Structure 1
Amino acid sequence: MTIKWEKYLRGVYSFMMLSVGAPIFVAANQLQNSYPLILTIGILCLIVCCIPKKWVRLLLSLPVMIGCLFTYFPSKIFSLLWVLQFFSSVTEEFFHLSQGKLHYLPEKTAFFLILLLIYLFITLTVDYDYWYAPFLALMGYFMMLTVFREKELLYEMIAVVAVLCVYLAARQFFSIRLLSGNARFQSFTTILLICLFTFSAILPLYLPKVHQSLEETSEPIREYLNDEGLYDTLHEYQLTGSARTGFSENDEQLGGPLYDNGEVVFTANQKVNGYWKIENKNHYTGSGWVEDPDAPIQPIQEFPVDITSYQTVMEEKENITLTLKNQAFLPYPYGNTTLTDFSLASGQTLYYLPESQRFIPVPNESTRLASLQTERLAFTREELKSSQLEADDLENQQTNLQLPKGLPQRIEDLAIELTKNEATLIRKVEAVEQYLKTSGNFRYSKTDTGHTPKERDYVDYFLFDSKIGYCDNFSTAMVVLLRTLGIPARWTKGFTDGIRTGTDEQGNEEYSILNSHAHSWPEVYFPGFGWLPFEPTPSFANPTISQPAAETTEIVHSAEEQPKESENIAETISSEKPEAISSDNTTLTPSYKIVLFSLGVCLSVLLFFLLLFRKSLRWTSYLIYLHFFASTNAVAYQKLLHHLETLVPRKPAESLQAYSQRIEQTFDLDQRFIRLTAQYEAEIYGQQADPVKFDKKTYLELTHIIRKTVYKKVMTKGSSFKK
């Protein structure tokens, strides 16, 4: 294949590759009709392929690009004034971006930049055979849209790979057909290409098994990245606002992965740590939990206020101080708890919802201090053996026995099967709890939990199909299973212990409760004891027992979900979304400092060696090109010449023959570079009808000599090659 026709093949490849990305770019920037952009790509490819002089190309390409811009950002009349106004607008947007006034890329600027990139990629592919440049750029762009904008671009990625494979196959076919030399390498690459095609065709057949294996193998790594906040950072980019809190107001549709958020929600000064309750919900819909919008609301007029009361508590009373900022809730521990004081500014009111046991300050716009006094809940399973449900208990707890119509029968069948050998209330509750927690049938994962399919019950799908979930799945499943047995149960939300961060002046321990500590669990009614918490989620301890705070989950919500204050108090209480407190006291532990210091040292050393051996590394990349990609003499010589000119610059108006003489004197190449230069000139100036046979061996030998010489020069304090 001649150089001219090889350029046309590269031009077709550039057009096909970039055209795949055009509709995605247009849709991502909320523009209409991708055909003008595809037509522009085609015209630019034609200009670059047909016109050798780069300045002429640029002069012809600019009107084409301006015409494309006018198509997408039209005015009444196309004129020079429109061109000036457009570029003035782009310049102003660039200025705002540099000043940090814009936190996104405006569509005009984005479109202008994409046209420049398209022209650059076409030039790199057609003139320099950098076929991988548009491929890598498109794949990177698609991955960014997939991660940050949650777009499904699987078929587009397949199309990009298909275009690349077709181009490489066509290129390989013409190389084998027209070049008799280098047969071993051509045969090897052809076999490799066929193997890749075969692998691509067979892979979908085994994809489900591979996906499952990858999930199980990579779970510790993904959980670690989640704990470190990587997914939360990505999720913040996906949302139009930033992630605010781990506590969700809207639980109507449960399911989907969770992203850990390490921001502080509130701090607690206390002697003993434990779970923090926010509220409970009673009505299960089959997809989530809802609350009664007409539930009674009570304003708190004076303090102290008794919150909860239990018979089995610790004897020692404990004083707790909470610091909350912009939170639409008041957390409290299990036990005989009294709210002794709550700081309210002028115009602020604290409300209480008896049905959900929820406190809501309105408005929630400032930092508040809350003082609690509690006798912690303490009970043993042995004490609960005597507790049995009576008819009056069931009559009074009908709200907490509610189940949706159409609940699959197999859920009740499973509950009966689990408890058929148990006689007491506590044993039945424990049987369900242990089945979910320790049977081994279920896997706990925040990142792998999928969304419930439409028309499927949330609990049924978890118990019998996915069997992967986090606290919401396990707690809701336990509540529903118990209700099918006629045992009153309700769904409870709050936070786990938190992280111990220090000690105050009174000797109390200080805990920081983060968004990632948001959690849910079931409460079960025991006559004579009241509502007691249980914990079916694997790796979590009972809410009345302290546990490691690292194994917690959270629910992320967007800042846009924060409604404005309503004049109607009931509407405000049911709609307000809490915000997280940003931590001003974040410190690095010594281990983190060591890791960061070591990482900095390693990066500095790596950067030093990259700078020191940058010239030698450049020749290493050329060796890789010769081994795996080079097929024609002209292109290989052009790349060799380009690399040599970075070491020994050509003089103005210096001929190739004169330059080759200087290269021979510099590197002592035994006249081989002079012969390659003569062959190249004969080929490009038409003095030789047939393409010159690509002498791979000679190119490799010359490159090794030059590379070794460069390395020696670097090691002798960077001596120059220039003469």
Structure 2
Amino acid sequence: MKKPIVSWKVLMFLYALSVVLLWEWFIPIMDLTDFGHPSLFIIYLILFFALALFRLSWWVGGVIQILYVLWAIHYMYFDQLWISIETTGYILQDVQRNILLLIKGDLGELSNLFRTLLLFTLVWMIAYLLRHWIEVRRSMMMFFSFTIVFVALLDTFTPYDATSSIVRIMIVGLLIVSCLTLIKLSGDEGLSLRPKRLLLLSLPVILIVVSVGLLSRNAPVYPPAWPDPVPFLLSLSGVEEKGSDKGQARAGYDPDDSQLGGAFVQDSQLVFEASVEQRQYWRIETKDTYTSKGWIQDKESNKELLFTGEDLWAPVVEGEVSLATLDFTEPLPFLATPYGTTKISSPEGFDLMHEMTANRLYLLMGLQEKIEQYEMEFVEPTYTMSDLQKAEMVNYETVQEDLESYLQLPDELPERVKELALSITENETAVYDKVKAVEQYFKKNGFVYETQNVPVPDEDQDYVDQFLFDTKKGYCDNFSTSMAVMLRSANIPTRWVKGFAPGEMAFKASGKNVYRVTNDEAHSWVEAYIPEIGWMPFEPTIGFTHPTEIEFDISNESPEQEEIKKAEKPEVEKEKELPKKTKGSPAFDAFKQKFAWLFSQWWLYASLLVLIVGTCVVLYSKRSNWLPKWRIKQLRKLPNGRVKFEQQFAQLLQQLARTGLPKDTAMTLTNYAILVDGRYGGDRMTTLTRAYEMGIYGNNWQSQDWDKLNEVWEDLIISTTC
């Protein structure tokens, strides 16, 4: 990479614009897929260009970038803040295995971890190209054009709305192109282009682009003269025949689950904020009838009237009462509650109707009425391993009749689904162990979490059978429905649950964590009935962990129990497919909870702020002592010539002004040089001034002795620091 011919300030400005332009590629990817942790990639881009700005050796920068990528993968896939030897070894083994798969052409078998590594590699390649185009080619028109085409295609053929994105791309892109054009012209003419001069020359372009952008946003828009060609193109490709008649859905809660399957796009719209001490699953309703295509509530629910502010249900177990407050921005038709809810109250006051079969709550005045805030008391259920191990299949005999509806299966369910369920559970005795065996089956047999390439079953195809034996990829509905059907095939009563995952912790307020729950956190899981225990939640979806508390009160632990113990810890076993981390990743929540005490120590933050501000003040006040030495190191890297000497002379004038010897506007350079030499001795300033005037006014740069001028300049500017 050639050394840049512009100042570091101009480079930093261009690098920042490049990051913004590249970020426009990530925005639609996040909107259309379950792309997680985008901030880690942005941090990597900032790190890359920061290393480029400091002109570090290639091997130093390479080591720093490799360490960062290794840390980012640890954070994304192993819920670890620090790099460990064990997980690093696993990553190396996974990379080795996936390289062999890549050579064989088995792209569909690549692990998510390796795909993330490939994405980091792609981002590095693009960032390197951007740096090359800025510093060497001084042209970004190709990348600018590709960005416009990419976003325009997504806006045309996907649900992504690029209205604002196109405006941002045009403003940033034209600004980069104009700046690079000015730099290229100044370099061809041998002129110096300082940051202020570049900004002044670019100002007309900035004003024109911003004005046109604002005008286009507010001007009236005429309807298109031609019909939309997209439906016609999609019909030619056969998409309409294969896809669902609903089109591509968006993430979020939907009461209709009769037809499951198909892709959906992410929706980060906030639904509610939950103020609670620990992360919770937010339960809304259950369904009991599987139709081979989806779930319905077959029979009318018995209803009971409940009054807020009173004890609604007795706690399942004795324990500490916790409080949770939900504030809705997008009210739901039914209430979302944590497990173990005993009381619901609200400042508004309302009465509830409880549908007992569907296990859902809504306001008495009707489903059309929605509540914006309510508070709940709950006692988190806890289970002991000894009690769970006591429950066996024979214990169902006393409650078999009451649970008959939770064993329902459609007549057309393929026999191989039942055979698979029995083969998974036949070696276990306790009901709990059978359920855990099915839950863990998905994590050990190549199943992949996927939201885009998820097909809808054909008319003669079963939804669960398709997932278990044909695709092996899907999202929460696929995993939870398949687990429920397999448990029923093994004669274990099961019901399908809908609600929201815990969400992402945003901040702390009044001693509680505040979780932001968006439409992306809409989720489904499973509840199995354990004899003498009751309904117990289980989480089969890869990448999710239900916060079920289990006390291990027996000494001889089975492998299944060990698996439960490690549910909240990083998994480093060799799985064929690693989970994708969603926006509601438990890693981030666990990190914030672990260091929660830090957020309440205001004095620590105040001291740290004072220390940082004090350090900045001292560094700024003493900049005349250390800044010249740093500038000497930077300018030594530039080739001798006019550009370097002009920067040296400008830096010298700034340093002299900082030391109390500024140049008066009415004073000539010659008189000013005599004044400087009078303070610091010798004729060094006079020598530099003569060379500068010969070049500026006489255009005589070729006859200069650059080595001597460098030596004189360094000697004089060092003298000003004493």
TM-score range (shorter-chain normalised) is 0.3 to 0.5
TM-score w.r.t. structure 1 length? 0.43
Structure whose CA Rg is larger = 1
